Each structure stands twice: as structure tokens, then as C-alpha cells.
Amino acid sequence: MFEKPAFTKEQQLKQLKDRGLHFSNDAIALKYLSHISYYRLGEYWYVMQEDKENHTFKADSKFDDVVALYNFDAELRLLLFGVIEKIEISLRTKLIYHLSHEFDPWWFQNFELFSDSRALVKTLFNLEEEISRTKDKTIKNHLKKHKDDQRFPPSWKSLEHTSFGSLSKLYGNLKNTIKSKDTIAEEFGAVNHTYLPSWLQSIAQIRNFCAHHSRLWNRNLPGTVKLLPKPPNPWISDLDNVPKQHEFSKLYVHLCLMKYLLDTVQPNNNFGEKLVELFTKFPNVDPDALGMKPDWKKEPLWK
């Protein structure tokens, strides 16, 4: 049975000191502990512990370094959230445009176009919930004006209210014979439908981590991605800098895919510069914790 009592901020501070974590200013440390939970900060000092069972720290472990890691991670999430937003809006636009022209504005309800009908039911259920909760006037006016129409509003209205995760599932669930599936992949520089679904799924997972303020630094990410053998757009020229299969749980490969997709959406973006600035601002952050390659900045992808 779990019987640990709740600790005050002062008790938390004392416990960390007793375990070997060094503090430069107790008052500032207490302020951090009053705004950021002990448990959340613990995700950043865990690697500093020499004995994980007794939670004792390695020599020279500093609370200032914990705060720096936390702040680096927070700024990284904000940077990626902005990048992912641009990819999401582009994906939504392409799905609506190409499939509405290839079929009709209600293509996303057409079970004949999808491989997994049960997965589509879940996606449509989530979409129904989003639409029923929305206060968007466009949707409300549409439902009021067309109350006898039992369909969802057309895709250009409905899909503006669904998540990146649902969009990626809609795209991945399309039958491979659907022409638009290859067209969208080609426009993103992903050649065909084989590769893009795994990229979108991984980015959707990272977007959820960003949205829920979850740690990205030093995290093992779920899922796998398929890399193009010969990408048509600028990629990584040095084979040593190409992520290997066993490294796909690190953030680096996903950052590369985000940059590759973003380059098709916004060719003159400053994602690479912003990432370099972030590592420069927080020099105590080990890029290896994200799986970064030593010469990643020199690659055509990141120039």
C-alpha cells in the first residue's frame, strides 16, 4: 500500500539537498517548486541520479542545470508546435482539396474509400464530438440551414474542426488505390503513399506531447518511421548523419522529417536557425540526448 505523505516545498527542498543535489539559491528554488511540480522537475533530474533506487545524486549535480533542461524543453516544444501547425494546416488543405475534387465534399464519410472501416468509425465519432461542441458560427449556421441533411457539413467545414491525429489517420486509412493519396505524398516530397503515413503519425504523437507540455528531451518516442531511400528534395548527404533504425526512438529523425515537410510548405523557413539558437542558449544540454548527429547543421536539409 502506498503511504507516502505529501511534502511541503520546504520538505521537498531538504530532501533533494539530503540526496546530494546542489542549490545556488534556496528562495529561487522554492519559487520554482511552487510553480513547477516536484514530480515534473523530477523527469529532468532523474538522469543526474547515481542510485536510481535510493534517488541519490551524482557529484556536482545542480538544480540550476535541472531548471536549464526544463526551460530548454519548454522552448523546444514551443518551436516544434509552430512547425507542426504549418504542416497540419497544409495537410488539412491538401486532403480537403484533392479528395473533394476526386470524389465529393463528403469523401471522408465514404467507407468505400478506406481500408479499415472500424478505424474510420472512431475518427468520425471523434469528429462528431468536435462538431457538436464547437461554437463556430460557420458550423452552427450550416447545421441550422441544412437540418434535413443528415450528413456532416462538407469537408472544408468539418475537417477544420478535427485534430492533426485524426487527419493523419484519415490519410493513412485511405486505400492505396486512391489517386489523391499519392498526389498529396508527392506534393510533400514523400514520393508516394508508402512513406508519408508513418511520418504524419509520428509528428502527430509529438504534437500531443507538445500540447500537453510533456517532456521531449531525452525521451524514447513511440512508433517507427520509414525513410525514403532517395528523397527528391534536399535531405542528408553524409550517410553517417542519416538516422539508423535503432535511433528512431530519438527526436532527431522526427526533427529531420518535420524540416523536410516544412521545406515544401514554407521553403524559406528558419527552423534550422531557431534550433541552433536553442542549443546555443542552453549549452549544458547534451544534443546526444535528442539523438542529434555531430555534423547535423552542415547537411543540405538544415542549411
For position 193, what pLDDT does the model report?
Answer: 96
DSSP 174: B
Q: Minimal CA–CA distance to 261: which of 177, 185, 179, 193?
A: 185
pLDDT per position as a tens digit, 154-180: 999 999 989 999 999 999 999 999 999
Place of cell 490519410: 171
For position 4, what pLDDT does the model report?
Answer: 81
Q: Where are the domains of the chain?
A: 9-61, 69-119+163-302
pLDDT per position as a tens digit, 29-66: 999 999 999 999 999 999 999 999 999 999 999 999 99
Rounded to 5 degrees, φ, ψ at 62 are -120, 140
Rounded to 5 degrees, φ, ψ at 50 are -80, -40
For position 108, what pLDDT does the model report?
Answer: 97
How far, in Å, CA of 81 to CA of 206, rounded? 9
The contacts of residue 239 (CB under 8 Å, 6+ apart) are: none
pLDDT beneath 50, residues of the chain: none
- pTM tops 0.75, yes or no: yes
For position 222, what pLDDT does the model report?
Answer: 77
How far, in Å, CA of 162 to CA of 134, rounded? 11
DSSP 23: -
How far, in Å, CA of 38 to CA of 20, rounded? 16
